[in-house]
A and B are shown apart, each in its own frame.
Chain A
Amino acid sequence: MNLSAIRTLFLGIFLVTSFASYSQNESSALEETLLEENEKENKFDPKSMIMHHVKDAYGFHIIDIGEKKYSISLPIILWTDNGLTTFMSSAFDHDYYGNVVVESNGGKFVNYKEKIYQLNPGEDTLVKGEDGYPANTTKPLDISITKNVFMMWVSMLVLFLIFIGAARKYKKSENFIPKGIASFVEPLVLFIRDEVAIPMIGEKKYARYMPYLLTVFFFIWLNNIFGLIPIINGANLTGNIAFTLTMATFTFIITTFSGNKSYWKHIFWMPGVPVPMKIFLMPIEIVGMFTKPISLMIRLFANITAGHIIILALMSLIFIFNTVAIAPVSVAFSLFIIVIEIVVTAIQAYIFTILSALYFGMATEEHEHH
């Protein structure tokens, strides 16, 4: 009994200290935003802080110590009228209010709310219009290596290491017995095959879609997890609509190209119903063709973004109430949400994969006569 009491005590101390240290980490990231906000408006604006953290950024802002800001700068790549323009994001000197104007390749650029704008010729400073957006600028074609792109590449490398490593293990071992990393990877791969691909697509055709499903699952899962790591919190790749749009588009393209005769027949001329019904159903089915990938896109984006917004909003409570007393509450709540989010990372990756598989299955299904 005594032993367990001591254990409980230590566990409690550990939890309290880790809560405290976690809250420090988070609040340091928040404070820098707060400081800047205070400088401008002298008031904490949780909305702009949250939006800033959820959105993509040009470079990793790690920490502020005193007046000095530490960050990893990333290359900015723009396609302007003068051709390809590149410079490092450190040129903006951590400014994202459009105050610092960078001249490069004959153009003047500002970073306003983590979007690059090119000032119109002859202009020297950014002028905001009534809607709060820059008025005297054009938007160049922006293919910068942002925080999200960088983390995406990191995740790509991690995936290569894990899965090619696992594949090597199989080659080395006799009788294809999984060893090391392979024994971790194999249940997941088998899960995708036996629980997702085969039931949704069918025994005959699933093999064609396996590489896509596996890649999508692990890519989304890993990036979901990366989005939750506090120090790079805000590398919110899977909570970015551009990413989910691309992934959903891939699913849509594969579905469309693998659609067989009966799939198209069910869309344009539904068999087994009277002709007026056929005409009535056609537009619905055509819209349905597009809503499927759109719902995929929105589901992943909104789930992950909503999770991040909630965590950040709970953290903002400290600064809204302007007291440390609320800190334990918001840390406890956000820890709870983070634990849920860890589950959500896997569930959303699984849902995306299983729905993709479902759509492929629908496209390739051989219908009986009904």
Chain B
Amino acid sequence: MDLVTPGFGLVFWTAITFLILLFILKKFAWKPILGAVSSREESIKDALAAAEAARREMENLQADNERILQEARAEREAMLKDARDMKNKMIADAKEDAKQTADKMIAQAQEAIQSEKKAAIAELKGQVASLSLEIAEKVVKQELSNKGQQEKLVEDMLGKATLN
């Protein structure tokens, strides 16, 4: 029975001691310790957030770099394409020019040939005509005695003479 009867003295001292303990520890121990722990946790959280931000920025930078590189590559591609196009065009132009010139020359040559030919034909005709006249004179002179033969000859001659 004694064991479960609280003594006043111990209750009194326990209450006082505990209140002193609570007050002093709260002020000088729990507050600094909990404060330190929570501010450390805070700083860790901040540091983690900063690291995350830095990582994101890094990613952004990398993406930028990538983009710039891409653009540069595209530009180079375009420039090369332009150059190639220009080259092709120049070649094509040159070819065209050459062809035109050649065509022109050929045409001129053909014209010249034609005109030469015409002239030659005309000359030939003239010569043929004069030859024919001569021949005709000779034949006429020779064949004027034979009337039938005479006419036949003239016709043959004429027929042969209209070659061109």
Contact = CB atoms under 8 A, between A and B. Distances in A.
- The answer to whether A and B touch directly, with their CB atoms under 8 angstroms apart, is yes
Interface of A: 51, 54-56, 77, 113, 115, 141-146, 148-149, 152-153, 156, 159-160, 163-164, 166-167, 170-171, 175-177, 182, 185-186, 189-190, 193, 207, 210-212, 214-215, 219, 240-243, 245-247, 250, 301, 305
19 contacts: A142-B9, A143-B9, A144-B9, A152-B17, A156-B20, A163-B25, A163-B29, A163-B30, A163-B33, A186-B37, A193-B34, A207-B34, A211-B26, A211-B31, A240-B6, A241-B3, A241-B4, A247-B14, A305-B3
A156 B24 CA distance: 10
Main secondary structure of the interface of A (DSSP, over half): helix
B22 to A, nearest CB: 5
Contact of A242 (B11, B31, B32, B34): B11
Given A143-B8, A241-B4, A241-B6, A246 B25 contact: no
B7 interface: yes
B29 A175 contact: no
B2 interface: yes
Contacts of A177: 40
Contacts of A115: 2, 7
Given A143-B8, A167-B28, A176 B17 contact: no
A115 B1 CA distance: 13
Contacts of B37: 176, 186, 189-190, 193
A113 B2 CA distance: 10
A167 B9 contact: no
Contacts of B13: 143, 145, 149, 152
Which among B2, B7, B43 has the highest number of chain A CB atoms within 10 Å?
A: B7
B10 A56 contact: yes
Contact of B9 (A149, A156, A170, A210): A149
Contacts of A153: 17
Nearest to A239: B3
A240 B39 contact: no
A91 B154 CA distance: 192
Contacts of A182: 33
A167 B18 contact: no
A56 B7 contact: yes
A176 B25 contact: no
3 shortest interchain CB distances as A-B pairs: A163-B29, A242-B10, A242-B6
Nearest to A177: B40
B44 to A, nearest CB: 9
A215 B18 contact: yes
Most buried by A among B10, B15, B34: B10
